[in-house]
Every structure is written in structure tokens, then in C-alpha cells.
Structure 1
Amino acid sequence: MAGCPNFCSQLALLIFFSSLCYVSSLDLSCIGVKEEYNKKMGLRDDNVPISPISGNNLQVCTQESTCCTPDMENKLMSLSGKEFESVVDNTFKLIKNTFVSRTKKFDDFFIELLTKAEEDLNVMFVQTYGQIYKQNAKMFTELFEDLRHYYKGSNVNLVDILNDFFTDLLKRMFTLMNAQYLFDDDYMSCVTKHMDKLNPFGDVPQKLKRQVKRAFIAARTFVQGLAIGRDVILAMERVKPTDECRRGLTKMMYCPYCQGLMRTKPCNNYCLNTMKGCLAQHSELNKAWNEYIEALKLVAQRLEGPFNIETVVDPIDVKISEAIMNFQEHGATVSDNIFKGCGTPRRNPSDSSSRFKRQSGESGTDYYSGADFMNFGNRRHETSNEKPATAGGTNLDRLVQDIKDKTEQAKNFWIQLPYLICNGEVAATQGQDDDCWNGKDRSRYVHMVQKDGRIYQANNPEVTVDVQEDNGIVSVQIYNLKLITTKLHHAYNGIDVEWTPTTQIQGGNLTDVASGDRRKETVVVEGSGKDSTRVDEDPEEPTSSGDRIVEGSGSGSGDKDPDEETSQPVRPSGRPNPTVVGRTDRPVKPPYDVTNKPEDTKKDKGSGASTPASSSAFMLLSAGLVVIVQACLLR
């Protein structure tokens, strides 16, 4: 028994060294793939091999030896499609929030401007005329309601709205100034027929109609234009990747995993070709989109200048008061002309209404005659001349300038998408041309980067694209953009635009005109089916690096001469390094991470680099030592 400890020790050492030799001879290079497949991709690793197997059965990641099975490849193809949609959605985030927030801001501004103008008029007229105004206040309320309905998209005629208002005003003022008479409907119809000849309000109605028409047409078309841009972006989010795109994405993003190259990123130019193939349909939108942006800017210029809605709506009470003053000054002449043309009416036997009690803060009773009631022009100074407290504490000039700046940055967005995506962490940076995944191995990518646009993807080496096939959603959005561009040009020239009463903006919400259904914070995409999506309340500050629009680093336009070096393609309008639009003081953090991997500076060590299998080795050694100890104890 004395030799037992020595025997056990020797046996343990023998097993230990034998196990080390056995473990070192195993090919465990797929263990790292198994871990990534399970923990980071959220997929079951039951059928993931721990050592390479033949890759002849794979459809996309074809290699002589691989860490992926056909079942794994199918799951990775499905995963790559979902991740691509998420990547595109993140890339859309800033431009979507820009159009959603600016549409709501302009709408809020305009609605509050109208509301404040109505309140100012009401305060001034109540203070000046008291009960008499209150008895006739409905006509003023209806005027502002009609203006709101027009702005919301109702196909009412602005000129008719103002004509009806001044016709009604003439009837009421003529009746008040001639309260000693009785007027029936036929007589009042005769009065209104002579309105153009009488010109009772001077040139105020003509000037106001011209100003209101131009300003309201521009404002309504502008906000509708912003809403169309918003809806186009929301609709384009629903464009799904094709089967060929999913194959290309799988090859780019996950085939390196099958070779044990978990930390090797795709070459930048390789990523560009793949994304240009997958986003070929999106690029078809670019021409119509840029024309739409330019038309939107033209109307914005009108709003800053002669069609400024703020200078029309804010002093509307003053303009109406000027019209009434004109009537008061020429009231006697107007009445005489009416009596000559329509005849002398019957006298009112009870002429008590020819005098009106004035509501004042002073004690006692104060009365106006009918003519005196109209003479209030010098009382305008009693009211406040301050600007309305508009939405967001801004004014029209600042608001429109902000919208112009933001929409200008959105130009060429649809052809910039591949650059926005590939300049992120999904692909290797320029300069790492020999240390990136080229679709087959970790080496230089040799193919040229294709030009921008669907037609140029006919020979895309990574994604097969049918350049003659249109996408239904994209075609509808191109039509919508062309239609709104035409309407914006009409608005720029002061021509009224008709709208189909489908959905309209109401203080940031959309209301179905037919049903009146209000949908809080819900955006409805029209023209390509309906889809609802919630948007951020405050998109001003990006919530992540994915919220920024970055300009491409010039990593490929594909329009170089074939004899030139292909590793550094540059977009015509690109910059040498990606920069955040409007922020050049710090480097860009890429907009997203496809695999959601933490920053890792480790490199894969060669193609099919193995992951240390120390844990498996220790388990094997531990089991052997347990057997030895048990054998010794039994002896």
C-alpha cells in the first residue's frame, strides 16, 4: 500500500499529459461560432458543429470546409433580412423625425396664429361695442372657422368665403345704420346686388382677398407638402428586401462566421455593392425627391416674402376695422344710393333700435346712435399690438428657415443610403482593404463599386437586380412626389390647389374627413396602402448615433475609369471623411451596428482561426483525475 500514492501520482501525470496532447490535436475552431450563434444571435446551437465540416451542401456560404450546416444557413438568411430592415429603419430615423416634427410644428404655428387672431378681434370688439358685437359675433366666428376648414384641406373657395363675409357685414351694418326702416329679404337681396357698384368698404375687401388667397394657398400647400414627404418616408420603410438581396446580405454579414472569422468585417466597397443592389429600388426615388425638395423651398421663399401668412392673419382685425371705418365715412352716401336703386323701405313704427346702449366700465348709461356705433377707428390703440404667442415661441421667418435648412440636408438621401449604412460599423473602414471579408476570405475586394441608381446595378457582382422591374410601393411614392411638386409650383404662383379630402392635419394629429376619427400621434400613409406607425415626440436631439444623417465618405460611386485603382471610389459630392451634417467638430459614430456587437479590438487570427478550448480540456482532465483518485481510494 505504501507505493499507492506514488502509483496514483504517476498515473495522474500520465493521464494529464496524455489529455493535453489529445486536446491539442483536436480542431475546435467552430466552438467560437457556436457561442456567437447561441448567445449573440439568439439561435439554438444544437446542430452547430465544434469542428469544420464539408460545405458542399450550402447554397450561399459555399466553402470546402465550414462551421455552418444547411439549417444554420437558412436561419442566418432569415436573420439577415430582419437585421437589414432594422438597419434601414435606423438610417431613416433622423429624416423621418425631421419631416414629422416640422410638419407638426408648422401646423401648430398656423393653427395658433389663427386662434390668436380670432381672440384679438374678439377682445377688441367686445371692449369697443359690448353687447352689440356679441349679438353679431357669430359671423366673425364663422369667418375664422371657414378659414380653418380651408387650411385643413376642404375644397372651399377663399374668395367666396370673404365675399360672403363682407356681404353679411354690409347687410348688418346697413340695417344698424338705418334702424328706422324695416327691410325684408327681397330688399336685402337688392342691396347685395349693388355691392360691387357701391364699394361700401373701399378697397379693403379686394386687398384682403388677394392677400388671404395667396398666403393661405401657400401655407396650406406647404404643410401638405411636408406631410407628403413624411408619408413617402414612412411608406418606403415598408419596402422588403428581395430574396437575392437576402442571399447577398447573408454572404456579407454571416458567411465569415461560418469560417470562424467572427471579428472580420466586410470590405467597404463590398458592402457598398451589396447595399446598392439591395437598395436599387430606393434609388429610383431620388430624382422625384430632389425636385420635390426644390419646389418645397420655392414655396418657403414665398412664405418668407410676399405670401407671409403671419403678416396677413395677425392684423386681420385691423383690416376689418378699416373696412368698417370706410363704410362709416361713406355710410350716408351708400344708403342714399341703395334707396335710389332699391326704393325707399317702410319705416319702423318702433324706432327704439336706432340707439344702442354701450357697455362701458364707467357708471351710468352711454348710448350710440347707429352712425356713432360704426365710428371706432380711433380706438384701435386701446388694444395690444404685441405679436401672438405662436407655437414653440417662434415666428414664421425662423420656422420656415429651419424647415428650409433641414429639407436641404435631405436632398439625395435615397442614393446616399448605401454610404450611410456602410460608413458605420457594419463594414471595415477605408484603408483596411487587406484586412476585411471580401465574400470568400479575409482579403482585398477586387470588384468595382457600381454607380448610383437602379439601372447601373445590372452587373452588380453581389446582388442580382432586375433593373426593368418596378416596385409597387416605390412607383406610388414617385407619383405622389410628382403630384405634390406640381401643386407646390402652383402655390408658388398663387394658383389655388384642390385636395382630395382623405386625411388632414389637425394640431399634429390626422383626422379622416369622412369619419371625423382622430388618431392621436398616429401617421397614416396614403397612396400605397395604409400603415400606422408611432413617431418620436421630440426628435430634435438624436437618441443614438443612428439618428444622425452623415454624408458619405466617398467610398464609391462606381463611375471611375476601369484602369484606375478601385479600392478608393469617391462620390462626386462626397467628403474625404464622413461628417455629421452641421457638426464638423467631432468624428462620426456610425449609425448602427448590425450585429449589436460591443466594440472589440481583437482580430481573427487567420482564416478559420480557432478559439482556445481550455474549458473543454479542463473538463476532460478533471474527469480523469477523479477516476484516479477513486481508484487509489479503493486500493
Structure 2
Amino acid sequence: MAHHSSALRVLPLWIVLAASMPAGFFSLKSPSCHEVKTAFQQRQIGLLKWVPDVPGTAEEDLSICQHKEPTCCTRKMEDSYQLAVRRETIEKIQALSMEIKYHIAKNAQSFQDAFQSLIQFAKNHTTSLFETAYRAMAHEATGPTAEFFTDISLYIFGSNGSVEAAVQHFYNNIFPSVYNRLLNPGITQLSMEFTECLRMTRPSVNPFGPHSQALAQNLSRSLNAARSLSEALSLGMEVINITEHVSFTRDCIQGLVKMHYCSHCQGLTLIKPCANYCLNIVQGCFMGLTELDQPWRDYIFSLKEVTNVMAGAHDLEFDLLGIQSQMNDSIFYALQNGPRITATVNKVCGAPAETDTYLPTESLAAHVTTPTGKPLAPSGELSQKRRSLPLKTFKSDKPRSLKKISREFMSHMQRFKAFYSTLPKAYCEGDLVGDSSTCWDGEDVVESYTDRTVDIGFDTQKPNHETKVKVQDHLLNKVKEKLQHFNQVIQGKEIQKVSEKLGGSGSGQKSLEASGDCDDEDGCFGSGEAEIVSNRNTNKLNGKTTIDEPVKTRGSGTSTKVATSTTKPRSVNNKGTCACATSFQLILLFLLVLSWNLS
């Protein structure tokens, strides 16, 4: 009975002692490596035969997990641990960046669909203009119209060229149809040489007045913003992809192995790293990634600037849907200035082969109709009716609002502004680190990690004893430079110049169209009078040389330049181009201009 009573008194003491042992104490003293083998198998680290059944003395073969006591690790296990931590760290980063990648990819597709829908809608809107109001040239305008909208679509998504070049190319291509079908409908068919001359001389003849240049300027601002957004989203996806496949140094991998798996070598498969110890390891390993923090913050700000411009100050939807109205204004300008345009064309390209006559403006009403099918009013009433032509749009036809897409996209992206600065902390949160009274510090089980915790950044890593910071990843450096360049362009330049800096937006053709409306006081011819544009000194036109000659305008004392020919009379050369007008025609035109001025 006394012996039994003594045993009862001893039992509580062992319970107290057992409760005071550190976590994993019994597994540490276990003569078996069964738990280590189980963890090795569950995490698919390597072959089970590499794990010994009982602890051994393989310390001399280990380069990372060295410990004085018997170990359950071998050199092959250590090599497998290095591959495992590389894979697991990449998977962790991918999990943390998955939401950003999802929003960028999803909204890139949403923006692309919206751009394409808007462009298709604007194309249909513009095509209907020719089919209802200018049926005489509708068939011939189909090709140039489709090509124009294809050009601006490709421009948004990064193709070479410029908006102005696309606009000027469109007007060059439709000018022969406007000249033949609307201004001179008596001509049955233009020769190829005469048609080519019309295209090449369109910028100088300026049949569409200031409207073609106005269209180019309006579209350039909004399309440049859309192009910049497209480039920004591609850049953002590139940054995330490089982040998800970042390379790690040898020292970093060894530090991660010490943090994650060296405890297994002692049989401690359930102990977790200390939180601050994890931060020091990961901040050293992620040093290249955290260097992207400020460029990434600036990138989010730049995204907001671009979306605000595209869906705000230079509304892409408004500008695309306004193409029809501006093209209509261009053609009305040509109709109102038919005699001047025909006279100028006859001077530069010669008269068409079939006839050198044209129908007066009053006769054009039979060839130009409103969407209702009624003939347009002649002469002065044209300008009063031109605003009635844009077709009514229906709500069901409109694509999803760019403003709504932009607002939703930026609300998501703003949440990830500090993604790179918080990446080490996010990595070490959750089930990875211990929240109990003991944790793993890379060498042993401790109550707390006592070393100093460093901040993010290259310069702050010097006191970090857990990992050695070496040369940064060259891919991270490259993408960092891309981010910085993009941010400098967006934040340092006007938004309409963004694509010129990033992708190359060439300068288009220059003519009087760039100057807008022009009157007698500016030294230009009035409405209905000859208006010819030529550069100062000597210009090349269709292979012929022209020289500027000043002509006095009525009451202004200024001169307007008229290009006169110094070479051969009108003929078709062996290259198929149309030669200049004869000297006789030039003299008649010159006398006609003088008579207009004197009257």
C-alpha cells in the first residue's frame, strides 16, 4: 500500500515535466525517422529510399543542415530539399500574385473587346453615312473606310504608324470618288493615271478644308491614350510573369532550406519558423522583387492617369462615334467648294480624259441625298443641313462603357499598390510561421527570435545575417527599367505624346489643313476662289518641279502662293503618272485669279 501511494505521488511530477518540454522533444529523441519519411512523401520531395529508417551520423556529408546530434537527413535529401523550396517558393509567389494577374488579364480582354466593339460600331456608323447620304460613291468608299478602321484598330494594339497617317491615307483614297461621283458626276470613269494624281495631290488641293486635320488631331489624343493603356497592360502582365518566375541565388535557397527543412533532420516535422526569422530570410531572397516597389506604385498611378484621359478628357467613345460627323463635314466642305477644287485639279493634273466640265453645286442635289432619301438643298442650305446627317444610335448597339471598365479596373489595382513592399510579410503569414510559445530559428527550437529584423530594399540588407545579398536578377532589373521609363513618359509628357515615346508615332502630312479655317485677312483665298498649297522654294509633285509664285489678294496686301509649272505640258509619262498642265492653261488660270481679285 505504501509503495502504491509513492507511485501516485511521483506520477504528477512526470506529467509536469512532460508538459514543460519543448514541442518536438519526443520526436527529437525518437530513434525512428518515420515522421520525417512521412513528411518527405506527402510533400513529394523525393524518393523514400533516400530517407533513413533511424537517425545516423551523416553530418560530414551535409552542407546546410549540420547538427551535432544524429540526423535523419542525407546529402540526397538535402539536394531534394533545395529543389523543393525553389518550387514551393515560386508556387507561393504565384498564389500571392494570382489575383493581380487575373485582374490585368481580364481587363486587358475587356478593354480589347470594348475597343473592337467601338471601332466596329463607328465603322458601321460611318458606312451608313455613305450608303444613305452619298450613295453615288458608297460602293467605292467601302474599301477605304474598312482599311481606315483597321488601321486605327491595329494602332491601338501597337502597330507601327500614326493616327494622322491613317487619316490622311483615308482622305487620299476617297478624294477620287468625291471628285468623280459628287463634284463631276458627268465623268463616267477616271483613268488610273488621273486617279493616282488626285490621290497624290489631295494634301495640296485641300478639298476637305480643315476637317481632315481636325479629325486626325481629335483621334490622336484619344487613340494615343488607348494605345498607352494597351501597352501598360502588356507591361503589367510582363512584370507579374517575371515576378512569378524569379530566380534565386544559392545563398537564398540554402537559407530557405534551413528555415523549412533543417528542423526535419532532427525529427521536428511540426515545428514552424519564427516570424521575424522568416522575414529576414525572405526579405533577403526577395530583395530584387522588393526593389520594384516604387516603380510599381508609380505604375499604378500612371494607369490611373491613362484611364482618366481615355475615358475622360479625350473620350475615346465620343471621338470614335464622332468620325461619321467629321467625315460628313469634310464632304460638305468639298461640295461647297466644287468649282474651286475642280479648277485646281485641272491645273495640277489636267482635265479628265472624258470631259473637262463639272456640274454646278445646284446640280449636286440630284446625287447627294439625306438619310430619308430626299435630295439635299443646294448651295447655302447645305451647311444648315449637314448636322442632321449623323444617324441616331440605339442603346442596345453601344458596347460596354469604357468609363465603367476603367473604374472597376482601377478599384482593383489600387488594392495592389503596395504589393511588392508587402510581399515578404505576405509570404511569411498564415500557416508558414509558428504562433505558439516556441519556434524554429534555423538552428534550434527557441522561444523567440532575437536577431534584428531588417527592412526591404538593397541598402537595408547589410545587417541581415541570414542571407547574403548578391547581384540582382538581370530580368528584374530590365523590367524595373521598363516600368521607370513608362512612368516617366506618362507622368512627364502630355498624354497625346505617350505613344510617340513608347511605340513611335510618326508625323503625318502637312498642308493648309493644319491651320484650320482660313480667310482673306490671313492671306488665303476666299470661298469659291482658287486655293493651292505649295511649300516655299521648289517642290516635287508627281515627278515634276513646281515653283511658288506670290499672287496679291484683294484688300489684304498679302500674298498667296500658287504653284506654277516649269516643265512639260500635260501628258502621260512612261511611268504612268500624270504630268502638269500646259503653260496656256496656267496663264488662263493666272488671269482668272487676277480678275477675281480685281473684282
When residues 342 and 269 of structure 1 are mapped into structure 2, their CA distance, relative to the original with a 3 A threshold, is same
Return 5+ residue gaps in structure 1 as ranges.
Answer: 1-25, 502-635
Deviation per CA, 1:470-506: give whole Å up to 9, x if none: 32211221222233334434764422426669xxxxx
Residue 442 of structure 1 is matched in structure 2 by: 445
* Equivalent pair of 1:139/1:165 in contact (CA under 8 Å): yes
* Separation (CA, whole Å) in 2 of partners of 1:358 and 1:326: 13
The TM-score normalised by the length of structure 1 is 0.64
Asked if 1:250 is matched to 2:257, the reply is yes
Residue 328 of structure 1 and its aligned partner are, at CA, apart by: 3.0
Post-superposition Cα deviations, 1:172-209, rounded to whole Å, max 9, x if no partner, equal 22322223368767877887788678764454323222
Q: Distance in 2 between matches of 1:191 and 1:130?
A: 21
Query: How far is 1:425 from its partner?
Result: 1.5
RMSD of aligned residue pairs (Cα, Å): 3.9
Counterpart in the other structure of 1:65: 69
Alignment of 1:33 with 2:36, yes or no, is yes
Contact 2:311 2:406 in 1 (8 A): yes
Are the aligned partners of 1:32 and 1:260 in contact in 2 as well (CA < 8 Å)? yes
Determine the structure 2 residue equivalent to 1:139.
Answer: 144
Please list the CA deviations of residues 137-162 of structure 1 after superposition, one character each: whole Å capped at 9, or x if unmatched: 21212211221232232221322222
Letter in 2 for 1:406: H
Instruction: Note if contact 1:177-1:371 (Cα within 8 Å) is conserved in structure 2.
Output: no
8 A contact 1:490–1:497 mirrored in 2: no
* Residue 179 (structure 1) aligns with: 185
Deviations 1:597-624 (A, max 9, x none): xxxxxxxxxxxxxxxxxxxxxxxxxxxx
Query: Which residue number corresponds to residue 121 of structure 2?
Result: 116
Q: Does 1:312 align with 2:341?
A: no
What does residue range 39-118 of structure 1 map to in structure 2 within 5 Å? 39-41=42-44, 43-46=46-49, 48-54=51-57, 56-57=59-60, 58-71=62-75, 72-118=77-123
TM-score under structure 2 length normalisation: 0.68
Distance 1:33 1:190 in 2: 85
> Residues 199, 428 of structure 1: CA spacing in aligned structure 2 closer, same or farther, 3 A cutoff?
same
Cα distance in 2 for partners of 1:341, 1:78 equals 76
Q: Specify the SS of the correspondent of 2:440.
A: coil
In structure 2, the CA distance between the partners of 1:295 and 1:463, relative to structure 1 (3 Å rule), is same
What is the SS of the residue equivalent to 1:460? coil
Q: Residues of 2 paired with 1:482 and 1:389: CA distance?
A: 36
Which of 233, 256, 262 lines up with 2:240 in the alignment?
233
The residue type paired with residue 432 of structure 2 is V
What code does the residue aligned with 1:417 have? L
Counterpart of 1:417? 423
Return closer, same or farther for 1:378/1:207 CA change in 2, 3 Å cut-off. closer
Paired letter, 1:225 = A
**Percent identical across equivalent pairs?**
23
Instruction: Kindly state the Cα deviation for residue 421 of structure 1 after the two structures are TM-superposed.
Output: 0.7
Give the direction of change, closer, same or farther, for the CA distance of 1:292–1:269 in structure 2 (3 Å limit). same
Q: Does structure 2 retain, via aligned residues, the 8 Å contact 1:33–1:262?
A: yes
Closer, same or farther in 2 for the Cα pair 1:28/1:213, shift >3 Å?
A: same
CA contact (8 A) 1:96 1:230 kept: yes
Alignment of 1:322-401 (within 5 A): 322-332=329-339, 334-335=341-342, 348=355, 377=386, 380=389, 383-386=392-395, 388-390=397-399, 394-401=400-407
1:283 corresponds, among 272, 275, 290, to: 290
Distance in 1 (CA, whole Å) between partners of 2:178 and 2:301 is 47
The offset of 1:73, in angstroms, is: 2.7
Higher alpha-carbon deviation: 414-423 or 333-342: 333-342
Structure 2 CA distance for aligned equivalents of residues 162 and 142 of structure 1: 10
Distance 1:206 1:357, change over 3 A: closer
**Relative to structure 2, which stretch is displaced further, 68-77 or 472-481?**
68-77
Instruction: Give the one of 467, 471, 479 matched to 1:463.
Output: 467
Instruction: Give the letter aligned to residue 468 of structure 2.
Output: T
Give the match for residue 217 of structure 1: 224
CA separation of 1:351 and 1:307: change in aligned 2, threshold 3 A? closer
Q: How many corresponding residue pairs?
A: 466
Q: Secondary structure at the match of 2:87?
A: helix
- Matching of residue 475 in structure 1 with residue 477 in structure 2: yes
More helix, by proportion: 2
Match of 2:212 among 195, 200, 205: 205
After TM superposition, give the deviation of residue 88 of structure 1 in Å.
1.9
CA–CA distance in 1 between the matches of 2:353 and 2:85?
87
- 8 Å CA contact retained: 1:129, 1:359: yes
TM-aligned CA deviation for residue 413 of structure 1: 2.1
CA contact (8 A) 2:370 2:389 kept: no
Distance 1:190 1:81 in 2: 67
| Aligned CA distance change for structure 1 residues 86 and 64 (closer, same or farther; 3 Å) | same
Shift of 1:63: 2.4
Structure with the bigger RCO (C-alpha within 8 Å, sep 6+) is 1
Q: Give CA-to-partner distance per residue, 1:3-36, whole Å, 9 cap, x none.
A: xxxxxxxxxxxxxxxxxxxxxxx94453322322
Q: Judging changes above 3 Å, is the alpha-carbon distance between structure 1 residues 67 and 351 closer, same or farther for their aligned structure 2 residues? A: same
